Amino acid sequence: MNKSLMQEALGDAWEQLPPGLQAHYAEGTTTDIGHMDVEFPAFMRPFLWVLGKMGALVQHKGRQVPTTVVKTVVGKRQVWLRTLQFPNGPVAQFNSFWVLHGDNQLIEYVNPWLGLQMAVEVRGGRLLYHGVRFVVRLGRWLLPIPEWLALGHTTIEERGTGANRFAMDFRLTHPLLGQVFRYSGEFASDAG
């Protein structure tokens, strides 16, 4: 039986995930449909514009933003295609691909060379991500960039809320500037 990328990263801890999170990370193509809140301080807008040009994050704020996330596997990568339809008209897309990076770690690349390395664990039925470092991929080498030197520390918490439902909370917290970006929301997953 094929395992999903998250199932491989978590190993035996996969069985501790509630059904809603197992549906979210199921093998094959899945679609998550829900709403997200996106927030950040005003001083971050120029930085988010630059990051958006590199494929990272979104530069619009909003509450209950309709969001669709399609995940599919291409080779050893899991490709994430995110679409956010903001109420005032703009459609934002934030796409990435994930690869395994050792035991309990993943790297999410927002373009072919810039990524975020994260460790994953299950605690109390919740899936927790902890940022390890940012990376720049130069051929087969990874150049590490400490979190404090970039946007700050990344945390993601996900919890199951039903058989095929989950809630998530993504935060970037800089040691000097505090929380510089957050998006959170609730979704229903449908395996394709």
Q: Which long-range contacts (CB under 8 A, 24 or more apart) does 89-92 make?
A: 90/60, 92/52, 92/58, 92/59, 92/60
Asked if residue 88 has pLDDT above 90, the reply is no
Q: Which of 47, 14, 51 is nearest to 125 (CA)?
A: 14
Half-sphere exposure of 144 (CA within 13 A, CB side): 8
User: How do residues 143-163 score in pLDDT, each as one tens digit?
Assistant: 999 998 999 999 999 999 999
User: How do residues 108-121 score in pLDDT, each as one tens digit?
Assistant: 999 999 999 999 99
- Backbone φ and ψ of 34, nearest 5°: -170, -155
Helices (DSSP H) in 36-104: which residue ranges?
45-53
Which structure tokens are listed for 32?
A: 């998550």
pLDDT band at 103 (very low <50, low <70, confident <90, very high): confident
pLDDT band at 192 (very low <50, low <70, confident <90, very high): low
CA 167 – CA 187 distance, rounded (Å): 6
Q: Which of 62, 7, 17, 6 is nearest to 35 (CA)?
A: 62
Q: Which domain holds residue 113?
A: 5-191
User: How do residues 169-187 score in pLDDT, each as one tens digit?
Assistant: 999 999 999 999 999 999 9
Give the CATH number, domain containing residue 32.
2.40.128.20
CA 45 – CA 96 distance, rounded (Å): 21
For the chain, give the longest Cα–Cα distance: 48
Q: How many CB atoms lie within 10 A of CB 22?
A: 20
Return the residue matching tokens 């990524």: 115
Structural domain count of the chain: 1
